[in-house]
């Protein structure tokens, strides 16, 4: 989402593209724009069956969730509320989405940021209830069905950086895992939480951590300026840099290397993600 933004903060013009990926050759084909309009279309995520892409769109001054169907090419509006929704994430029950919901200020003088919570919505777009009482949530990621990772928005005036916490739904206990983090949260094949470590402002890196560990384990430096990444089933990590798609695999490449360039899109790539099979990628183009 737009971290710590209010309802009056203008959102950038962005579009969402989808493409086919041959994992063996790392060749990209059939690149196409699935939003094709002026305005904010962002934060894509695949449905569990890979047949749809959920995303956030702002066409009325309030962000709502939409779903693009890969088979028909049709787009359906999922939510239509007075609140703003961000970061649509399919839940393991197959019946729900978890979203970051931005309501109204809690009291006179409160920031909109204070209202930001993770909510459960049904697939028809109906808000059910907050998943947690925790506020100031910018992004989230499910580690497993009962454990959720949260990016907590920092407070610049108080000198507080964004922090990463894990929350247990059964006990309602939370634990801080890291601070000075970026927006992307992912889970590795072996169940570790992967995130962007910004503790060195000149070298952002991907790191992993699990509950019970004292410190994160660094994996690799990200391309300069990027805080977006995702995993392929074979362990490769995808990222972006400018108009380039990049990949890294432990033991094969020392750093991220480019495998496809999309200069004809006339923008900067961001928010890359993939379907479960790693055969399709979705990314956002901004700044065009």
* Full residue range of the structural domain in which residue 65 is found: 14-286
Between 106 and 168, where is the model more confident? 168
Q: What is the pLDDT of residue 61?
A: 84
Tell whether 3 is covered by a domain.
no
Tell whether 8 is covered by a domain.
no
Tell whether 92 is covered by a domain.
yes
Tell whether 9 is covered by a domain.
no
> Exposed/middle/buried for 260, CB within 10 Å: 0-12, 13-18, 19+?
middle
- CATH number for the domain spanning 84: value is 2.120.10.30
Average pLDDT for 113-118: 90
Strand order in the sheet with 244-248: 229-231, 237-241, 244-248, 257-261
Separation between Cα atoms, residue 116 and residue 112, nearest integer Å: 7
| Full-model pTM | 0.94
Tell whether 7 is covered by a domain.
no
Q: What percent of the chain has pLDDT over 90?
A: 86
Tell whether 263 is covered by a domain.
yes
Average pLDDT for 62-84: 96
Average pLDDT for 265-286: 97
Q: How many domains does the chain have?
A: 1
Tell whether 141 is covered by a domain.
yes
pLDDT > 90? residue 273: yes
> Mean pLDDT over all residues of the chain?
94
Q: What is the pLDDT of residues 132-180, one digit of tens each?
A: 999 999 999 999 999 999 999 999 989 999 999 999 999 999 999 999 9
């Amino acid at each position: 989402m737009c971290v710590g933004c209010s309802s009056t903060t203008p959102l950038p013009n962005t579009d969402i593209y989808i493409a086919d990926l041959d994992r063996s050759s790392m060749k990209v084909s059939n690149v196409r724009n699935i939003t094709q309009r002026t305005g904010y279309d962002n934060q894509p995520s695949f449905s569990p069956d890979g047949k749809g892409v959920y995303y956030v769109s702002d066409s009325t001054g309030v962000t709502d969730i939409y779903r693009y169907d890969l088979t028909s090419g049709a787009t359906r509006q999922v939510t239509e509320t007075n609140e703003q929704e961000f970061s649509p994430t399919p839940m393991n029950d197959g019946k729900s989405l978890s979203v970051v919901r931005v309501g109204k200020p809690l009291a006179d003088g409160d920031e909109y940021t204070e209202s930001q919570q993770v909510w459960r919505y049904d697939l028809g777009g109906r808000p059910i209830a907050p998943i947690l009482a925790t506020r100031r949530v910018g992004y989230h990621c499910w580690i497993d069905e009962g454990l959720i990772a949260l990016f907590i928005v920092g407070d610049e005036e108080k000198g507080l950086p964004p922090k990463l916490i894990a929350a247990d739904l059964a006990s309602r206990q939370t634990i801080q895992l890291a601070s000075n983090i970026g927006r992307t949260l992912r889970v590795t094949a072996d169940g570790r939480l992967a995130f962007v470590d910004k503790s060195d402002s000149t070298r952002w890196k991907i790191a992993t951590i699990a509950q019970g560990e004292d410190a994160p384990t660094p994996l690799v430096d990200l391309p300069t300026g990027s805080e977006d990444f995702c995993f392929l089933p074979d362990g490769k990590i995808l990222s972006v840099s400018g108009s380039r798609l990049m990949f890294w695999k432990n033991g094969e490449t020392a750093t991220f290397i480019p495998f496809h360039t999309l200069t004809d899109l006339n923008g900067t790539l961001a928010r890359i993600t993939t379907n479960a099979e790693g055969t399709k990628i979705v990314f956002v183009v901004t700044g065009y």
